[in-house]
Amino acid sequence: MTLTVSTDLSVNTYPTQVELKLQDKQKALRDSIEKGEPRIFGVAQIVLGLLIISYSMPLLSAERTMILNFGVPWWSGLMMDANCGTYDNVTPLHTACELGNLDMIKFLLAKGASPHKVNRFGQCPFYMAIKNRAVQNRDYHLLHAWALSGVDMDSKDYDGRTVMHEAVYLRDKSMITKLLEYGATPLEKDVWGQTAVDNAQNETAIMALFDPLFTLLQNGVKWLSDAVASALNVVIRYVTEILESAGFDAKLPFQKVTPEGVIFVAKWALLVVVAYWIISFIVRLVVGAVRQTLWLLKVTFAIGMFGWILSDTGASAETTAIRLAGLACVCVLLGIRSTSAKSDAHLEDKVKMLERRLREMEKSKME
């Protein structure tokens, strides 16, 4: 930009030739994006040219921000590396995180953008999400996208603080619960040696979420799920290689096992086991109650008939005896007996067996 001072002491500014070129390229790119016909306006050539022409590095940052803000779906049409960066190693994913553009974040991750690539200042894309105040804005979708992409939810900023530190500072119990669900832990220390648990010492409600047993269990589940997923992935790879070497077209229904998938299957398996145990317990309880009820009905019937037989004073002794014998037969047929009779019979058989073995042992000693 050049400055000129007129005779009336007014200051006039004029854009330089480079600035005019940058403005023209920005306008062309903006118009092409808005019209949805980017290739007609040579957007690919413009963006690719920006990676080479040193003087247009500011334009690169501006146009990348514009592209991500528009969320254009034709990114894959550009012959451009998703991990390309500026002279500060700021990648498109860094910019998308800083802008909080969830759709573009998911798209870039699907195109192979690395969530672990750091810029010149040592900041990973997740730090840019923290910088964008994803926690303060309660941007659950953005944090969930990071959790699904496998990013370490305990990533730190330059002060060593994590999203959990920020959530505790804001006393946001809902966010803390979500972060715990997404795999974040409250045990990471910042540069001052303080953990999120240390910062929440005076907050009873938050400390209840950070119960030591719960935290230990969560970390154990996370470690175990990672180990199981890794082992299963190794098995899948070996099985695939063996089948391919044998001449079979190995197409397994799934090619990769994730820790989240292991936890999901384990939860449902545990739910099925618990449901089976509860249903079995209820069935046994109901069957036992029905059996006891039927036994009581039989006993009541037998006692009632016995009383009726004895109360019939007009019947002869022979008739009464026949009736009692018939009642006894009915009781035998109905199976009216003590519920512990079978157990006692088994116990008696076992005692007799032990006595017989003792006699055999004594006999063998005497011989």
Confidence of residue 75 (pLDDT cuts 50, 70, 90): very low
The secondary element (H helix, E strand) that includes residue 236 is helix 212-245
Question: Are the beta carbons of 164 and 204 closer than 8 angstroms?
Answer: no
Task: Identify the residue whose tokens are 């105040």.
Answer: 133
What's the average model confidence in pLDDT over 15-26? 62
Token code pair at residue 13: 């500014």
d(CA 276, CA 274): 5
Helix and strand numbers (H, E) in the chain are 15, 2
Write out the E strands in the chain: 2-5, 11-14
Q: Is the pLDDT of residue 48 over 50?
A: no
The pLDDT of residue 85 is above 60: no
**Average pLDDT of the chain?**
70
State pLDDT tens for residues 95-104: 676 666 666 6
* Whole-prediction pTM: 0.34
CATH number, domain 159-210: 1.25.40.20
Map tokens 């022979």 to a residue.
318
Question: What residue ranges do the domains of the chain occupy?
Answer: 159-210, 211-257, 276-336, 338-367
Question: Where is pLDDT greater, at 272 or 62?
Answer: 272
At 285 the pLDDT is 93
- Determine what percent of the chain is predicted with pLDDT higher than 90: 5
Burial 56-85 (b: 16+ CB within 10 A, else e): beebbbbbbbebbebebeebeebeeebebb
In sign, the C-alpha dihedral spanning 179, 180, 183, 187 is positive
Identify whether the C-beta of residue 344 lies closer than 8 Å to the C-beta of residue 337. Answer: no
Distance of CA 213 to the CA centre of its chain: 19
φ/ψ (deg, to 5) at 70: -70, -25
Q: Cα–Cα distance between 45 and 31 in angstroms, integer?
A: 15
Residue 191 Cα distances to 161, 194, 229, angstroms = 8, 7, 33
Question: Tokens 């016995």 belong to which residue?
Answer: 306
CA–CA separation, 156 vs 94, rounded Å?
Answer: 15
Residue 45: band (very low, low, confident or very high) from pLDDT cuts 50, 70, 90:
very low
Check pLDDT > 60 for residue 43.
Answer: no
φ/ψ bin of 162: left (φ > 0), alpha (ψ from -120 to 50), beta (otherwise): beta
